[in-house]
Amino acid sequence: MTRLESHDVKIGIQCTAPTSIVIRSSDDMGVINPFATGGVLLDTVAAPLIERLEFLRGTLASNGKAIGVYAIELHDMRYANERDEGDAEPLGRKKGMEQWEALASGTDEVRLLNGSFDELTWSSDGMSPANGMRFDATLKIVPYIIPTSHLNLTESIEFEGKSTITLTY
């Protein structure tokens, strides 16, 4: 598997009154994640990363065939309200759950917008969503393709991935 160059997209959300924000992502490609099917032979050195890739809800396709996945990671999260501003950490919530979960720090996996959590939010205390009037973050999009031995590299390969990112406040 090959990690391709990442791309950063800055987002900023302005609100007229203090509120909390929820962000979620859905995959719009309609193809199966090639790392989740067991059809891609990988070396054991990559196993921890593969375990992460198999749960991503963002697929890359070329001519309708899945050739990879992409991670959408939230970085540089900040918030501001009438009284203060500061760095924020993500909280995650899984589908059908009411409670937010504090995410273990120290790994990029906790910042995945399209990973094991269905929703992420900004938090100032690590327990509950922050109320703010401005929310900022960087979306880091990191593509991974299947091993090149499974691709025809005699010509260029065009691929695409589509996600819908939804904000709720």
pLDDT at 122: 93
Mapping DSSP to helix (H, G, I), strand (E, B) and coil, where does residue 118 land?
Answer: coil
Q: What is the mean pLDDT of each run of 10 residues along the chain (169 residues)?
A: 91 92 89 74 52 82 91 90 85 89 63 83 91 93 89 88 90
pLDDT at 150: 85
Q: Please give the model's pTM, rounded to 2 decimal places.
A: 0.82
Contacts of 111 (CB under 8 A, 6+ apart): 73, 74, 75, 90, 103, 120
pLDDT at 109: 52
pLDDT at 100: 92
| 8-state DSSP, 147 | -
pLDDT at 11: 94
Mapping DSSP to helix (H, G, I), strand (E, B) and coil, where does residue 38 land?
Answer: coil
Contacts of 103 (CB under 8 A, 6+ apart): 89, 90, 91, 92, 110, 111, 117
pLDDT at 41: 46
Token pair, residue 49, equals: 């990363």
Rounded CA-CA distance 157/60 in Å is: 11
CA distances for 65 relative to 31, 60, 148, 157, angstroms: 7, 8, 14, 11
